[in-house]
Structure formats: C-alpha cells, structure tokens
Structure 1
Amino acid sequence: MATRTRRETNYFKNPFKMQGIDRLLPAGPYEILTDEELIEGLSFPCYRRVSTMIMVPAAASCTAAIEMVSISSVDLSNAQLRDARAACDPS
C-alpha cells in the first residue's frame, strides 16, 4: 500500500500540555509528521491518516535532543484550540 508523510510546523504561543506527553512543553515551533496511506480502488487519489507524531524536546536533557512522540490528531487539535483561546484571552 502506498504511503506518504506530510510535514508541517505548528507554532504554539503559550506553554502547553498534550495527552500522551507527561510534561509541560514550552511555547515555540513544533514539527508535526502525519503518515497517510492511499485508499486503493478509487478513481481518484485519496489518503487516510494512519498516524500523527510530534517532535518535542527530550525530557531531562541539557542538550538539543528531540524525541518523536505519537499523538492523536484530536489531541493535537485540542491543544491548538486551547493555545488560540489563551492568545485571545485578555486576562
């Protein structure tokens, strides 16, 4: 089955937490990798999401090490929503 990987960078304006990651992550840019597989048998190319990963600073590391963590696309969307709401909150 044919697969592809999409890469995008999401910028969080505030420190955030995400389901599946047990620590507070600092604000800044985060690379998101989404693996998708081709749905065969259609007359046009169509892909379905298979997995989503985020690159985060490694825990308890004093170097520039990063780790790839598998996350839910729903958890990513929720974290982005919370970040956008926090940016709009005047308090």
Structure 2
Amino acid sequence: MPIRTTETTVTLDHPFALTSFDSVLPAGVYRLEIDEEEISGLSFSAYRRISARLHTPAIGVLSSIREALPIDTRELEEVLKADRTPIILPAGE
C-alpha cells in the first residue's frame, strides 16, 4: 500500500509532557511528521494514519541532539487542546 508522509508544525505556548518523552518539553514550535497508508479497494482516495513523529528540540533552539520520536497523535491532540484552554482563577486570586 502506498504511504504518504506529511510534515507540519505545532505550536505550544506552555511546557508540555508526552508519554514518549522522558521529560517536560518547553513551549515552542515543533516539527511533526505523520505517515498515512492508502486504504485500498475504495472508489475514492482515503488514508489511515499509521505513525507520527515529533522532532525535538523546538524549531530555532540550538542543540547538538536532535530526535524524531514516535508519539500518539491522540495524546498530542489532548495536549494541544489543554494548551489553548484558558486558566480561569476564582475572583480574588
């Protein structure tokens, strides 16, 4: 089955953690690669996600160590959602 890879970026405004990483990652813009395989036998083109990799460190950060670690995209979606949810403190705090 043909496989396609798409590359995009994700921006996180706050430090975050993913189970794929040993430590908390700082806020920043990260490169994300997603591999999808074509679903055969359909009368139209359709793809299924088979893997995803997050590149570290964030874009623009100088480091001698660069990694592309596999991640669970559902977990990343939850992190992105939480990153954009405003924190509302009770009045007086």
TM-score w.r.t. length of structure 2: 0.83
Per-residue Cα deviation, 1:16-55 (whole angstroms, up to 9, x for no partner): 1112211010111011110000001111000000001100
- In the comparison of the two structures, how many residue pairs are matched? 85
Task: Give, in angstroms, the shift of residue 77 of structure 1.
Answer: 0.7
Task: Give, in angstroms, the shift of residue 74 of structure 1.
Answer: 1.0
Runs of 4+ in 1 over 4 A off after TM superposition: none
User: In structure 2, what is the Cα distance between the partners aligned to 1:63 and 1:52?
Assistant: 22
Q: Which has the higher strand share?
A: 1
**What secondary structure is seen at the aligned counterpart in 1 of 2:34?**
strand
Q: Which has the higher helix share?
A: 1
Q: Give the CA RMSD over aligned residues.
A: 1.5
Which ranges of structure 2 fall in alignment gaps of 5 or more residues? Answer: none
Q: Which amino acid aligns with 2:19?
A: Q
Q: Percent identical across equivalent pairs?
A: 34
TM-score w.r.t. length of structure 1: 0.85
User: In structure 2, what is the Cα distance between the partners aligned to 1:73 and 1:11?
Assistant: 14
